[in-house]
Structure 1
């Protein structure tokens, strides 16, 4: 039996980062991947494919230029599913090649097959030819990711009624689409197809969407979606989905309303891919959604020596945070010192338009009783915004009145997922409103919005109070416990 310092099950963001981190510490590492190619859900059906699809759709449709040339403007008049797939395949091939090279140069051993627990430190690997190998590890990291939730009452056929994994293989772009689920995945795909001029209807039993995002940003987002004629049936449950004789699909909601479309995408949640691991043999048990509970600081499960990281442990289910979770878990697993990660991480929603957020929302500020002020900047207020033809887009900064520290940054609009990192850095370095007022930004850039928003807040807050004075009865430099506590975001059920 082959013995390893660390066995990693899964080669997605958490698995790859964990394996490479352990290998760089001169540990013997094995990665087990059941797919034909490395990369996991992130590379093949999740993060990379959906973002590639988005970029291709925006480029070919001429979406970004319509502010100048009108709604009828298109770079390519007839866009096909093959046009979208061609760029996707090129991107995926590159991602796989890079990952395989990383494993090779770091001496990470890769084995393809299905892994199951034999005991808490031993796993059986069933290869494609039926051969079964047994491997043993000092520590085992589960980075198996998730798979789409597929309830029995939905008649999936991989053609007109699909889950989010199957959507990438469609042969023809639908003229009309119903998306069941207004979570992150559902909203991303809904807005991407809307940008391709598909008539889109979104259905969700909740009366609100994206509850972990600042409410003002969601309101702006909702306005933009309705403005381009997307139908949002929130607070209405899809009770019946049936295929019609003419090839279309009918969706009936609880109010009796019936929507007929070319295609239905069911994107109401995902399940941890743990059902085939034989967790009982290791003394583990997953929750009703197949997810594993871990120590949030070490990512160790209830069984010593077994770790889990990535989407399989639940929120926030981001590729970026999964990578960091995998790195921390690997260091703990092999006995290396692991520093506490930075408190604030960005959340990116690659919808059309993009949304990105970091830190506390305005609603969380109110819940914690922190006196605050907001600064707002519209992208159209910047010269770069005019050059790009942007009519929409905004940046919102939230500052503490007592300490003047930035506690939240929320952005909707073009390049939001890039711009947020400026705010993230200021958040983690405990910067104040004065940074944005006194700092110089390149001109013309969308990043100027930070200065505009900073000035907007500063005008209401006024100049800083000397340290020996007080603000609202509190020393100006004192940081309250509410401000230093890590944000507890509401769970994004769509992930």
Structure 2
């Protein structure tokens, strides 16, 4: 029976970085994967596939360049699922190879199979009818989540599906209902609308992406409506059925979503994107004395320890913020603590990125949070129309907003919507982390022409307001 210093369960972002960190500390490490491929949801069904799909769509439809070449500009007239899947699979294969190479170079044993705790330090790995046992001093549970699939939703993988199945559609539908206005739902709604699919987006709350700054949300919802997406906000789906289509148009079956308000929405397809569900219930955690909530998520302390101190957990399985970027750091920090490596407190100033059309990103606080907390601030605004690079990119609607403290001029929040927003945000993140002020953006030189110049414009705008100019 093999014994390890650390066994990691799951090869997603948290598991990968945790295992590599332990190996770099000179520990004997094994990582276990129950699927037939590496990378978890981030590589295979979530982060990477959806972003690869987005980039392919923006390129092939010509959407990203229409501000320069006109609304009729298009790289490819008839776009098929095969066109889009080819790009996605190319990126995914590269990521598989990259992860495998990193594990091999760091001397980490990769074990395929399903992990099940038989005792506090004993793990059984099941695969193809066989089983093996191994022991370890420490464990990192990084099994992630899957899309929620309520029993009252008639999933059939062709007309009613979750986000995992969307990339496996045989053809592009003419219409789609998207249930759920969170990050996943809004991203896919934008992608489908850019492809020319008629999209209806249903969200139970009064606005999309409630954690965003209100001004950014309003601008985003305006852009969605301009793209032809019908928003049904403050509406909840009561029932989903398959119904016969209109005989005058061939009678093709449709999906009908009946809302609590009595409205009936119909489309060729329906994407259900309301929440995600944990998968740790099958790990035998009761044999260790670890409990989980009704969504199979684990509770951890500030060091990512469960209630059993030698078992750690990181990534989506512990809930918020459920970002690939934060999961990587959680996994690494969990392992550092497990082996006595002192780390500074985790900087919670992490950025959010929403890869919709347009792109959105934020770091720090929103106007609403600052107002509620009674913190005096001023907002500095820069539109992409005010910087030359915005014009060169053909983006006439992008915007960057700085929230500046009225007294010491420190940056309290940065919010961006438009081309490369998720790249642009890191400049503000760095300045905030180092306690910089708005004057930094005025006193330093930025390459010309770049979108980064928007920081200077926004800083001037905010400081001018504070000087009552």
User: Structure 1-normalised TM-score?
Assistant: 0.92
Aligned length: 461
Give the aligned partner of residue 88 of structure 2: 88
Q: Which consecutive residues of structure 1, in runs of 5 or more, have no partner in the other structure?
A: 464-495
Structure 1 residue 430 corresponds to structure 2 residue 435: yes
Q: Corresponding residue for 1:99?
A: 99
Q: CA deviation at 1:70?
A: 2.9
Aligned to 2:262: 256
Which one is further off, 99-108 or 338-347?
338-347
2:272 corresponds, among 252, 266, 273, to 266
Question: CA-to-partner distance for each residue in 1:412-442, whole Å, 9 max, x for gaps?
Answer: 0100000000000001000001101111111
1:403 lines up with 2:402 in the alignment: no
Query: In 2, Cα distance between the equivalents of 1:405 and 1:339?
Result: 23
Q: Which residue of 1 aligns with 2:383?
A: 378
CA apart distance, 1:68: 2.8
Whether contact under 8 Å (2:442, 2:460) holds in the other structure is yes
- CA deviations over 1:344-390 (Å, ceiling 9, x no partner): 11110111111100011111111111111110000111111111111
C-alpha separation between the residues in 2 aligned to 1:430 and 1:69? 42
- Cα displacement (A) at 1:333: 1.4
Structure 2: distance between partners of 1:238 and 1:362: 31
Correspondence for 1:394? 399
Match in the other structure for 1:158 = 157
| TM-score scaled by length of structure 2 | 0.97
Q: What displacement does 1:242 show?
A: 1.1
Kindly indicate whether the alpha-carbon contact (under 8 Å) linking 1:5 and 1:334 is maintained by their aligned counterparts in 2: no
Q: What is the distance in 2 between the residues matched to 1:11 and 1:314?
A: 17
1:322-471 correspondence runs (5 A): 322-462=327-467
**Contact preservation (8 Å) 2:68, 2:392:** no
- 1:465-484 equivalences in 2 (<5 Å): none
CA contact (8 A) 1:6 1:333 kept: no
Contact 1:343-1:428 at 8 Å conserved across structures: no
SS at match of 2:283: coil
Structure 1 runs (4+) greater than 6 angstroms displaced: none
Matched, 1:136 2:142: no
Question: Could you list the per-position Cα deviations for residues 452-495 of structure 1 after superposition, in whole angstroms to 9, with x for gaps in the alignment?
Answer: 000001112239xxxxxxxxxxxxxxxxxxxxxxxxxxxxxxxx
Tell me which residue corresponds to 2:296. Answer: 290
- Report how far residue 253 of structure 1 moved: 1.0
Alignment counterpart, residue 310 of structure 2, candidates 286, 305, 309? 305
Q: For 1:343 and 1:84, how far apart are their aligned partners in 2? A: 36
String of CA shifts for 1:243-279, please: whole Å, max 9, x gaps: 2242321111112211111110000000111121122
**Farther off after superposition, 399-408 or 101-110:** 399-408
Partner of 2:247: none
